[in-house]
Amino acid sequence: MLSVEAINTYASKMTIGGWLIGLAYYNWFAPNPEHVSWFGHAALIVGGMFVASIVIGGGMAMLMGLITKLATGDWEGSSHAFAWGAFISPVLAFFAAKYALKLAVFL
């Protein structure tokens, strides 16, 4: 079984992947994409990777740690909740990319 640190590393990488796939889906392959400048794209890609990984990935890790603490009495008592977080965080990042694109249009 993988350690919690290894699972969180995979979750962070998968969150970045979910972010990039979300940007591609909602902007580059959408039938009616939002018009964002090249600088806006660069900011969304580079800045968004860090923000999505930290905010979404870290938030899910904290939430799953709290659930594990409540269930087992230890923050790292079981890696099962963290594995679910590694599944959920890329999905959240995918959908967050849509709202980041809508926000980038107004900036």
Query: Cα 48 from chain centroid?
Result: 9
Return per-residue pLDDT of the chain as tens, 107 residues.
788 899 999 999 999 999 999 999 998 888 888 788 889 999 999 999 999 999 999 999 999 999 999 999 998 888 899 999 999 999 999 999 999 999 998 87
Tell me the pTM: 0.90
Alpha-carbon gap, residue 51 to 44, rounded angstroms: 10
DSSP string, 56-105: IIHHHHHHHHHHHHHHHSSTTS-SHHHHHHHHHHHHHHHHHHHHHHHHHH
